Amino acid sequence: MFPVMILIDPQLGRNIGNTARAMLNCGLQELRLVRPPLNWLNENTRALSAGADIVLDNAQCFENVESATADLHRLYATTARHRDMVQEVMTPRHFAKTVTPLYQSGQRIGVLFGPEKCGLENDDLGRVKGVIKIPVNPEFSSFNLSQAVLILAYEIFLASSLNDSRESHLNHGNSDLAKKEEVDGFLDQLLDELDKAGYLRPEHKKSIMQRNLRNIFSRIDMTSQEVRTLRGVVSSLVNPNGIFSRPRRRPR
């Protein structure tokens, strides 16, 4: 299935309508919204979608990014700004070429888009495998939200029909590539243990330290087994020879 477009804190219903139209123009149908406006699905939204009801009616709403991305294997984010975070930065075209063989072989891919005015927060950027930077006039770089979605959807649509993308293959089985919820579970465990251990101090640097750690592990493709192994590593470090040294499932 095509990648999922995920709008975080979208502020305007019209942008959601335009986004739905742009997505369906390019064959994409799966839209997720994190904290959209209460009345986002109104007549104006529908009018601007120009008939892309299948996208609007199936759009899923979430309270946070974590839950919106739990079932995905790989997460990317769009941003126009340079950040100081250590991350792969790619063009929409490179992104599309990279993920096409992945989603065509069953992986679920998601792309995060920040709110209209301020873009994504660093904490969200710390959750992703890589950052997509849309090439833009440096003197007028603020993209409309639905226009940014269109560029991504367009490149995905084009890459899906190019032979070269189908000719590339992953050189490992992907059936057990870890989902984001597994990685998040491990990270929660790790950060929790680090917090208890007094590592995340001083307090005002805590969130940055957490983000940087999330960022490191979000950039790796891990299998479920590898995540379980890491959980076991943390558990056994914290509790050597203890009854909790075997990995536990994260409570749902």
Strand order in the sheet with 88-90: 60-62, 31-34, 4-8, 109-113, 74-78, 130-132, 88-90
Chain contacts with a copy of itself (rule: CB under 8 A): 18, 21-22, 24-27, 50-52, 93, 135-137, 140-144, 146-147, 150-151, 154, 157-158, 161
Measured from the CB atom, the residue of 135 and 242 that comes closer to a copy of itself is 135
How far is the C-alpha of 132 from the C-alpha of 119, rounded, in Å?
Answer: 13
Measured from the CB atom, the residue of 51 and 242 that comes closer to a copy of itself is 51
Using the CB atoms, write b or e for 183-196: b if 16+ within 10 Å.
Answer: bbbbbebbbeebee
Measured from the CB atom, the residue of 26 and 178 that comes closer to a copy of itself is 26
- We find the least distance from the C-beta atom of residue 33 to a copy of itself, in angstroms, to be 20
Residue at token pair 């558990």: 235
> Which residues neighbour 201 within 8 Å (Cβ) at sequence distance 6 or greater?
none
β-strand pairing of 74-78 with 130-132: parallel
- We find the least distance from the C-beta atom of residue 31 to a copy of itself, in angstroms, to be 14
- We find the least distance from the C-beta atom of residue 194 to a copy of itself, in angstroms, to be 42
Measured from the CB atom, the residue of 136 and 197 that comes closer to a copy of itself is 136
- We find the least distance from the C-beta atom of residue 231 to a copy of itself, in angstroms, to be 42
Number of Cβ within a 10 Å radius of residue 64: 11
Measured from the CB atom, the residue of 26 and 200 that comes closer to a copy of itself is 26
Q: Do 156 and 100 contact (CB within 8 A), yes or no?
A: yes
- We find the least distance from the C-beta atom of residue 219 to a copy of itself, in angstroms, to be 26
Number of Cβ within a 10 Å radius of residue 211: 18
- We find the least distance from the C-beta atom of residue 54 to a copy of itself, in angstroms, to be 9
Q: What is the DSSP letter of 208?
A: H
